[in-house]
Every structure is written in C-alpha cells, then in structure tokens.
Amino acid sequence: MTEIFRILVVDDNQDFADGVAIVLRSMGNDVRVAHDGFEALEIAAAFQPEVAFVDIGMPKLNGYQLARRLREWRWTRHAVLIAVTAWGEDEDRVRAKEAGFDHHVTKPIELESIARLLTEFAPADAGDGPPGP
C-alpha cells in the first residue's frame, strides 16, 4: 500500500501540473500546485511538503534555483525533490543532483513512474517544529 504524502507539484505548464496533481490525489495524497518557483516557495512555507515534483525550465525562478532554496529551509531540507523535465542528458542529471534533487525523470512522465517513485521512499517528517530557515 502506498503511503499518503504532502506533495507539491511545480510546473509553469498548467495542464501538465494539474494532470499530475489529479493522478497524485487519486492515490490519496494531499497535493498543492504552483505554476512558478516563487509561488512554490510561498506554498512550501505553509504546506511543508514531503515530496515535490518540480519542473526545471520555468521562468523567473527555475527548478534548480527552487531546489536550492528548498534545501536551505528546515521544513523542506529532507523532502524528496523530483526533477521533472524534458532535459534528460547526463549533464542535466548531474546539474539536478548538484541543485539538491533526489530523482530526475523526463517528460512525459508515466503514471507507473509516479507510483514507483512514491513507493520507493518514505520521506523524513517535514513537520519537526515551527517553520524557520
């Protein structure tokens, strides 16, 4: 049985983000959606996600920058960050890891991949006290 997670989906493609959110909610997860990196930071501060599916190629604040910021915060430091991108070369995977991502998947992401990722890990408790950097 899959555990229930607090999941943040971040993608500037609204249809893609909403579609992934629908799949994750159908699995019983608590899901929030952001369409840019700055909105994701606001949501993450209040929601304290255990898992985040993050697009790399977003305007304003890209996925690499967002991952680095999330890793700085106590309440998202141990969240599982999953880069979801069309960029799938080895160098893209290295950059994602250096930015703080735990996993790297290429678009289009398949339903089986989402389910497999969620069963592979049990994120650390992100709610270990009051929020703070």
Question: pLDDT in tens for each of the 133 residues of the chain?
Answer: 457 899 999 999 999 999 999 999 998 999 999 999 999 999 999 999 999 999 999 988 999 999 999 999 998 999 999 999 877 788 888 999 999 999 989 888 887 788 788 877 654 443 443 344 4
Q: Which helix (DSSP H) or strand (DSSP E) does residue 76 occupy?
A: none
Nearest CA among 108, 57, 46, 103 for reference residue 80: 103
d(CA 52, CA 93) in angstroms, rounded, equals: 17
d(CA 2, CA 21) in angstroms, rounded, equals: 16
Please state the pTM of the whole predicted model: 0.86
Residues near 130 by beta carbon (within 8 Å), at least 6 away in sequence: none
State residue 131's pLDDT score.
41
State residue 129's pLDDT score.
38
Q: What residue type is 119 in one-letter code? A: T
- Any idea what the Cα angle at residue 36 is, between residues 62 and 52, rounded to 5°? 80
State residue 1's pLDDT score.
43
* Domains of the chain: residue spans and CATH: 6-110 (3.40.50.2300)
Q: What residue type is 105 in one-letter code? A: V
